[in-house]
Amino acid sequence: MNILHCDQKFVLEVFNQAVSAISNDIDMHILMSLSKFGQKDDREFNLGALVGTEGVINVSYHAGVNVSPLDPSIDLFWSRFGLQEVVGRRGNLFPVYSMAEVVNFQSNIDNKEMDLDVLLKQVFKDDGATVNFVQLYATTPHCHHSPAVIHPVSRVITLCDLHIQKHRSMIAGHATWYIEHMEDLARKTLCRVGLRMEVVLLDNQDGLGLRNVVHIVASYLSQSLGDVFAAKKGMGGFFSSWKAFQLELSLEELFFGRVVGKYSRQFAAALGVCPSSLNSLTRIKGFLGLGQVGSASVGESPPPLEIWLRDDVQKSRVERIFGLSDCMDAGHVVVGEHLLRILMSDLYGRNDRLPTQSLQGPERPIGNLEGCRTVREFSREVSQRKGFGYPHTFGRALDIVTSYSVDPVPCLESAFSKLKYFPSIRYWDEKRHCKAKWNFKDYVELHKPTELPSAASRAASYCGEICARME
């Protein structure tokens, strides 16, 4: 917790009272840790006035210095090849602004002896002190606030709003905050960069120096991410989902030097944004590069769902509806095929091995025949019913189609016209809840308005009407 200067004495007295109240008979050694870190306070800090120095076991202090060039038109960075020879192996090097030749360094936090070069130790080491931690970094806008959700923008697009309203609002808020944070970092790239020597970049008279280039690139990436989010929020789609995912990775590499999330690292190189991978476009070109959007996918698969989902049912729901928005401009026939596949996947509870061929006839599938319906009548019925909520995705698919000003009834009619039989859907469960389901044994016969249904289907329809009237 952050304690004000005037409250330090009171808080420490409370801690001392708590320690004194503990029984001395217990086999436990009590240690108290006092930290004063990152406070911009020029007043003298007297440790002896706060604690008894006779019981102090160890004291460590943090010292930092800003290094700025005499020429204000110069930006200073650490060189990767220069640091690799002096910092040793007990630490991590992070790219800066996605440039493979420029890095930040952070040593390991394990209290083990560091393997720094002798000359570098002489720079840091004070008489009688031990160096426990070293950071060498450029003063770039690389502030990283750990998000509650990893890659929230691509998550909102990929998951197609299949969650409840409260959860949808929450992850949409995370995505909006993420875009605003990246836009704020992009605006700060116009500030001067100060650090050590090694790599010296001088602005030219045309205003195309480092800061101007980085600012243009960062602004383009953040604005593109915001545009994709505004246009495809909750709609899914291969290009929009992978594009948002690639832009998030590129912004994280640009500002933080690494992507967020362990599942995302293997995709950064394939998408071209990883400066440390030898096969990445960024490493080859020397600066941030964006590869083909689909270069990290297998077929038309979505971005890695393991980042956001753990439930297999939720993953299959997303995979079921993910590519629907990509076919909205392809006509009623293609849209109808996608809707039919989503509906059958909901009813059969799986996304593959759907028995489409057996439903085309002429032989009836194994089961009971409950009646007959016209294709148009059945299409209108499944489009207007409200029972396709969780775990179904057909209801959300109808919302996506309608949002593109496409009537789902003609689309379904073109798809159902190729089938002879279809599962008989019940829209109410045993407790009279509005929920579509199928018992895996009853079917209805579909026919066009100009065709006559079979005698068996007509007889089954009459029996059903008689039973309904008797009930």
Would you say 298 and 138 are in contact if contact means Cβ atoms under 8 Å apart? Answer: no
Pairing of strands 74-79, 199-202: antiparallel
Spacing of C-alpha 192 from chain mean position: 31
Kindly list the distances between the CA atom of residue 255 and the CA atoms of 105, 141, 178, 249, 276, in Å, as whole numbers in the listed order: 14, 7, 13, 10, 15
Determine the 3-state secondary structure of 372 from DSSP.
strand
Would you say 147 and 178 are in contact if contact means Cβ atoms under 8 Å apart? Answer: yes
More confident residue, 78 or 335: 335
Q: What percent of the chain has pLDDT over 70?
A: 79
pLDDT by residue (tens digit) across 433-468?
Answer: 788 888 888 888 888 877 777 776 666 665 655 555
Amino acid identity at 102:
V
Determine the 3-state secondary structure of 339 from DSSP.
helix
Q: What is the mean pLDDT of residues 281-293?
A: 82
CA dihedral sign of residues 12, 18, 23, 25: negative
Q: Quick one: pLDDT at residue 409? A: 92
- pLDDT bracket for residue 202 (50, 70, 90): very low
Show me where the domains of the chain are located.
5-55, 152-181+205-312, 348-470
Q: Is the pLDDT of residue 417 over 80?
A: yes
Q: Quick one: pLDDT at residue 49? A: 66
Predicted model pTM: 0.74
Q: Which residue has the tokens 């077929």?
A: 299
Q: 327, 328, 311: which is closest to 391 by C-alpha?
A: 311
pLDDT by residue (tens digit) across 336-382?
Answer: 999 999 999 988 888 888 888 888 878 888 888 888 888 899 999 99
Amino acid identity at 300:
E
Would you say 106 and 92 are in contact if contact means Cβ atoms under 8 Å apart? Answer: yes
CA angle 435, 439, 440 (to 5 degrees): 130
Q: Exposure pattern of 225-246 as b/e (b: 16+ CB <10 Å)?
A: bbebbeebbbbbbbebbbbbbb
Q: Quick one: pLDDT at residue 196? A: 42
Q: Quick one: pLDDT at residue 341? A: 92
pLDDT by residue (tens digit) across 177-188?
Answer: 888 888 888 887
Alpha-carbon span 229 to 244, nearest angstrom: 7
Q: Is the pLDDT of residue 201 over 60?
A: no
Q: What is the mean pLDDT of residues 93-115?
A: 77
Contacts of 145 (CB under 8 A, 6+ apart): 181
How many CB atoms are closer than 10 A to CB 460? 22
Q: Quick one: pLDDT at residue 200? A: 37
Alpha-carbon span 232 to 397, nearest angstrom: 14
pLDDT by residue (tens digit) across 30-41?
Answer: 666 666 554 556
